[in-house]
Structure 1
Amino acid sequence: MVKVEVWSDVACPWCYIGKRRLQNAISEFDGDVEVQWRSFQLDETLPKGEAMPQAQMFMEKRGFTAEKVVEVNERMSSVAAELGLDYDLDSYMVANTKDAHRLSHFATSRGVGDQMHERLFQAQMMEGKILDDADVLVSLGEDVGIPAEDTRAMLASDEYGDDVDRDIADARDVGVQGVPFFVFDRKYAVSGAQPQELFMQALTTSRDEAEAEVAAR
């Protein structure tokens, strides 16, 4: 069994691309793989409830021109399309993602963590959803089978906030400086949305080393 820990933010377009490339590699890999989604926030300082269009964020915080925003988004959308992901970054809304990450941890406790992680990415990249809006998160939870009242109660509490903070602290400990970031059996790391072949190489190396260790005992 190869364990892959993935630090990502559901507001990160390249993280969704990296997720899909990893999953494609796993689908062709000869071996068992466990994937653990770990929380990371691109901007922890964003005030809750103050969403803004992505283009506005790029121009105000990164100094992009409107033309540069179009260029960057077209490139990301083109790469995503090659993987079957239909990005609509014109509708992308930047918001604080901590509650979305809390929902992801909550969903994991209910056995639907993978489905929730995927649904959050879809909502952000394709549907223009605002991921710090409780009603939006409740609806997304329902989409993967979590009763609305359960998600609403969780969001009204501080549950899973410590899990999100712990993931971010762990990211610093393992040297994460940007996401997506993939760690294989706590031995090998892949930084960024790398080609599928690199993920396959990391999976194969991890599996072969684990098997060699067992054989040597």
Structure 2
Amino acid sequence: MTVDVQIWSDVACPWCYVGKRRFEKAVERFREEGGDVQVTYRSFELSPDTPVDFEGDEVDFLARHKGMAREQVVGMLAQMTQVASDEGLDYDFAALQHTNTVLAHRLLHHARAEGRQEEMKERLLAAYFVEGRHVGRVDDLADLAAEVGLDRDEVVAALSGDAYLEQVRADQEQAMALGIRGVPFFVLDDRLGVSGAQDPDTFLGALRRAAEEQPA
């Protein structure tokens, strides 16, 4: 009774990290019931036109990108920080270095090929939202990859060329075909979709339903 779960998300998505934690709580309970889950992370870029080295902080980015007043953005980030804190995540938006995430997505595909995608995803999200690390440059990403046991030189070689870019684009095209407009978005057994950072009970219910609907 293993449920296949594909998760479209972005490293620069604060709700994706919150959703990851909530989903993990559901998976833990599902496994206690005798089920299992196979997770694959899929690529989704929230702001593909973002430069690698964005000049300004997260308030500057959101104020420009969404056309919101700075005071409104500050309040929104404070609320998001509290939501994350409730899940045990210590977001630091003041230290966050906004960047383009396509290289990070390519790294996640490389990590998947090496059997370390889940560890890499967690490391990237923590680096970005909690530690203020840069996740848009080859050397910085290679350092993070080495921390989860990937070969640093292999990562540099892969990210210095076009490796895995085709897979990233394929994920994005599939998202469009499925009508995915926001992340996180969870697809269970290619049949059941769950949108957003839902509470653990909702995720658990979806996992149970997917398992029940599997062919005998």
Selected match of 1:134 from 121, 138, 148: 138
Structure 1 residue 19 corresponds to structure 2 residue 20 = yes
Assess if the C-alpha contact under 8 Å between 1:51 and 1:95 holds in 2. no
Selected match of 1:168 from 164, 168, 172: 172
Matched residue SS, 1:90: coil
Change beyond 3 A, Cα 1:183–1:62: same
Structure 1 residue 63 corresponds to structure 2 residue 39 = no
Q: What is the deviation of 1:49?
A: 3.8
Q: 1:10-58 CA distances to partner (integer Å, 9 max, x unpaired)?
A: 1000001011111110001020111110010001122334454211111
Q: What is the deviation of 1:208?
A: 1.0
Assess if the C-alpha contact under 8 Å between 2:53 and 2:98 holds in 1. no
Assess if the C-alpha contact under 8 Å between 1:51 and 1:93 holds in 2. no
Structure 1 residue 77 corresponds to structure 2 residue 78 = no
Q: Calculate the aligned-residue CA RMSD, in Å.
A: 1.2
What residue is the counterpart of 2:52 in the other structure? 48
Structure 1 residue 105 corresponds to structure 2 residue 123 = no
Matched residue SS, 1:46: coil
What residue is the counterpart of 1:6 in the other structure? 7
Q: What is the deviation of 1:64?
A: 2.2
Matched residue SS, 1:37: strand
What residue is the counterpart of 2:38 in the other structure? 34
Residue type of the alignment partner of 1:40: F
- Output the TM-score relative to the length of structure 1: 0.94
Change beyond 3 A, Cα 1:116–1:51: farther
Overall identity of the aligned pairs, in %: 40
- C-alpha distance in 2, partners of 1:51/1:207? 47
Structure 1 residue 94 corresponds to structure 2 residue 98 = yes
- Output the TM-score relative to the length of structure 2: 0.94
Selected match of 1:147 from 147, 151, 167: 151
Q: What is the deviation of 1:130?
A: 2.0
Assess if the C-alpha contact under 8 Å between 1:18 and 1:180 holds in 2. yes
What residue is the counterpart of 1:188 in the other structure? 192
What residue is the counterpart of 1:204 in the other structure? 208
- C-alpha distance in 1, partners of 2:100/2:175? 18
Deviates more, 1:126-135 or 1:113-122: 126-135
- C-alpha distance in 1, partners of 2:13/2:96? 11
Deviates more, 1:162-171 or 1:71-80: 71-80
Matched residue SS, 1:86: coil
Matched residue SS, 2:132: coil
Change beyond 3 A, Cα 1:52–1:102: farther
**Number of residue-to-residue matches in the alignment:** 212
